[in-house]
Amino acid sequence: MESLKGRDLLGLADLSGKEVRQLLDLAAALKAGKVSLRCPKVLGLLFRKASTRTRVSFSVAMYQLGGQVIDLNTNLTQVSRGEPTIDTARVLDRYLDILAIRTYGQEELETFANYAKIPVINALTDLEHPCQILADLLTVQEAFGKLDGITLTYLGDGNNVANSLLLGCALVGMNIRIATPSDYQPDGEIVEQAKKIAGDRTEVLLTADPERGVKGAHVLYTDVWASMGQEELAESRIPIFQPYQINEPLLRLADPEAIVLHCLPAHRDEEITDEVIEGTQSRVWDQAENRLHAQKALLASLLGAE
């Protein structure tokens, strides 16, 4: 745990595979009540986009560690009046112990990290959503008792969640397949990074064919077809993404024991049918709960809790 103290988490590849596994083991131990950690520090939440799970799970995690949370809603701070990021970062650094940021560009997050000495956490950018993937991997580990050799297929838009899944799966030795329309592939640099991390150990497959992607997979995963900031594109994307919907016929092509994940919020009967998200193979509520345990482990590790 000591090794993560003081570090930033701007993208999933800021962690090694070993560190991801250590975090997951700590999260599992915290969830099972086998470990109890105290960390009476102050977390700031600076969010430029809406959030239910990330905001609440970070807050509850910090309270359960004995710490406090300050909601730095950008409309209530000088951030919305255009105070330079480099100034806000240096000031918040003097008050807070740790800062989680949800914003658009990865550059803003990097600027915060460069100008604040405290740990900065990516709570979602257009490029990555690493905290989500820590919870997802914990959910997979719980379902299968292992991560090695498990095949996860992500269907839909090659967005922030897809990018972080590529890195997360490669880091822990899972096979990752991304099935998207050809114009909606994940970030090219991240794909290359994931392939490098995976080496010849595991599969990193990009395909436009949803059936090829799903065949025999152990985990099917999807997310909205238009992310925050792209709302005006949502309607026009529906016909393009329809073949990538997780529905019963597609699910039947996966491994019979396959589980279904969605980071939520979901648009039922768009990227996933109501029947599948409410069905017996869905693990989305465990997955949402695991945001709390994974982020508690992350906060405790970055803050060096004992």
Which residues contact ligand NVA (rule: CB under 6 A)? 124, 159-161, 223-224, 227-228, 263
Catalytic residue among 126, 223, 245, 281: 223
Catalytic residue among 245, 263, 281, 295: 263
Q: Under rule CB under 6 A, which residues in 43-62 are in contact with ligand CP?
A: 51-54
Query: Tokens in use for 157?
Result: 């838009």
Catalytic residue among 102, 177, 283, 293: 102
To ligand NVA, the closest distance from the beta carbon of 117 in angstroms equals 28
Element holding 190 (H helix, E strand): helix 188-198
Q: Return the one option of ligand CP, ligand NVA, none that residue 113 interacts with (CB less than 5 to 8 A, by type).
A: none
Tell me whether residue 124 or residue 300 sits nearer to ligand NVA (CB atom). 124
To ligand NVA, the closest distance from the beta carbon of 269 in angstroms equals 18
Tell me whether residue 115 or residue 221 sits nearer to ligand CP (CB atom). 221
Catalytic residue among 53, 129, 283, 293: 129
Which residues does 280 contact at the CB level (< 8 Å), separation at least 6?
Answer: none
SS (H, E, C) 61-115: HHHHCCCEEEECCHHHCHHHHCCCHHHHHHHHHHHCCEEEEECCCHHHHHHHHHH
Interaction of residue 263 with ligand CP, rule CB under 6 A: yes
In three-state secondary structure terms, 195 is helix
Q: How far apart are CA 261 and CA 148, in angstroms?
A: 18
Rounded to 5 degrees, what are φ and ψ at 198?
A: -70, -35
Q: Beta-carbon neighbour count of residue 178 at 10 Å?
A: 27
Residue 263 is among the residues annotated as catalytic for this protein: yes
Q: Return the one option of ligand CP, ligand NVA, none that residue 224 interacts with (CB less than 5 to 8 A, by type).
A: ligand NVA
Residue 262 is among the residues annotated as catalytic for this protein: no
Q: Beta-carbon neighbour count of residue 110 at 10 Å?
A: 17
Residue 129 is among the residues annotated as catalytic for this protein: yes
Tell me whether residue 4 or residue 176 sits nearer to ligand NVA (CB atom). 176
Tell me whether residue 97 or residue 136 sits nearer to ligand NVA (CB atom). 136
Binding mask 131-150 for ligand CP (x = CB under 6 A): -x------------------
Contact 65, 300 (CB under 8 A): yes
Contact 126, 13 (CB under 8 A): no
Q: Return the one option of ligand NVA, ligand CP, none that residue 160 interacts with (CB less than 5 to 8 A, by type).
A: ligand NVA
Q: Return the one option of ligand NVA, ligand CP, none that residue 190 interacts with (CB less than 5 to 8 A, by type).
A: none
Q: Return the one option of ligand NVA, ligand CP, none that residue 52 interacts with (CB less than 5 to 8 A, by type).
A: ligand CP
Residue 102 is among the residues annotated as catalytic for this protein: yes
Residue that has been written with the tokens 């970070």 in this structure: 58
Cα atoms in the Cβ-side hemisphere of radius 13 Å centred on 255: 14
Cα atoms in the Cβ-side hemisphere of radius 13 Å centred on 254: 26
Catalytic site positions: 102, 129, 132, 223, 263, 291
Residues in touch with ligand CP (CB under 6 A) = 51-54, 124, 132, 263-264
